[in-house]
Structure 1
């Protein structure tokens, strides 16, 4: 029997690949794959596909340009979420710190469950409207 397929990366659609890649690069501490770093200031950036890698060079997230992307209306079901990213932190202090960082980078708060005694968390939307959760593991 052949080996099972492996996930290479998760791809997010966006109307602004560079903006969204920068958001997640800063939030998660990833780097651009070789050749995907932002161009010099005097050059235009028409990237329609960008990839972020972890410290070991493994692909983690990719960003694909689309002409339009209606943001999810979650928790309402008019425009479903379809996919979201979960990230974890060690404690409530880190939870608050990273929520503030994300908001400062353009995220929007969607749900505040920091008072949940079993799993404090925030649901935020990235600059393209994709939801992601930060919670205490």
Structure 2
């Protein structure tokens, strides 16, 4: 028997701001709230589906330094350049973590400075089985 990742938890000072950002980026919706924490995930699937949900967990303890874990995202319906423009327009910013400039990915940060990478390869979206 094995485990699988069902939720990713991100500590943040403004869960609503990050929920709005990541919902825009990933096409997610708000699934629920517990106190100040907000869980977002794919529409019509809820927790435990094929994609992990994100829990934006309110914290007053600011992060220090580079996170040991980051998210990678791939475009699903456009090329990398067009997706980069969409992410920047949604509130992402470019981030410098020491890359050389020759990488095939872009290092970005969400509105609270959490780094993530936009990879080059276009992937298929997860099939929408909510209409079946």
TM-score (normalised: structure 1): 0.69
Q: Which has the larger radius of gyration?
A: 1
Alignment root-mean-square deviation, CA: 2.7
Q: CA deviation at 1:97?
A: 2.0
Once the two structures are TM-superposed, the CA of residue 55 in structure 1 deviates from its matched residue by 3.5
5+ unaligned residues in a row in structure 2: which ranges? Answer: 48-52, 122-132
Q: Which residue of the partner structure matches residue 128 of structure 2?
A: none
Quickly say closer, same or farther: Cα 1:63–1:101, change in 2 above 3 A: same
- How many residue pairs end up in the alignment? 114
Q: Which residue, 7, 12, 27 being the options, matches 1:9? A: 7
**Runs of 4+ with >4 A deviation:** none
Q: Which runs of 5+ in 1 are unaligned?
A: 37-45, 72-78
What whole-Å deviation, never above 9, does each CA across 1:58-112 have from its counterpart, x for those lacking one?
Answer: 43211000003236xxxxxxx2321110011269x6212222222222221015x
Tell me by how many angstroms 1:128 deviates: 1.2
TM-score normalised by length of structure 2: 0.72
Counterparts of 1:18 and 1:4 in 2: how far apart (Å)?
33
